Amino acid sequence: MTGDLTADAADRVADDLRALPGVEHVTITHADPRVDERRSLEVTHSAGYARVPPRVLRALAEHDCGVVDVTRQGEHPILLAI
């Protein structure tokens, strides 16, 4: 991403991500130290996904966002994007 994610842009990305199969929850946050508390998106995938689906990566790329980190919480991959 070339600059910080604006509130409007974050809302648009979150809406697009929420509409995708396999995306369970999207949170817009400012509290993650991995991105110096910049506005970012936490994307929780449904249980059972072994990886981030390509459709999620494409949606992020269409909005000029990129992946910072992917961790697991039990069966759920959690993606952090800015």
3-state secondary structure of 3: coil
User: For the chain, which residues make up each domain, given as ranges?
Assistant: 7-81
What pLDDT, on the 0 to 100 scale, is given for residue 2?
54
- The packing angle between helices 7-18 and 54-62, to 10°, is 150
Query: What DSSP element (H or E) covers 59?
Result: helix 54-62
Write down how long the chain is. 82
Which tens digits make up the pLDDT trace of 15-29?
Answer: 999 999 999 999 999
CA pair distance 78, 26, nearest whole angstrom: 10
- Report pLDDT digits (tens) over 31-55: 989 999 899 999 999 998 989 999 9
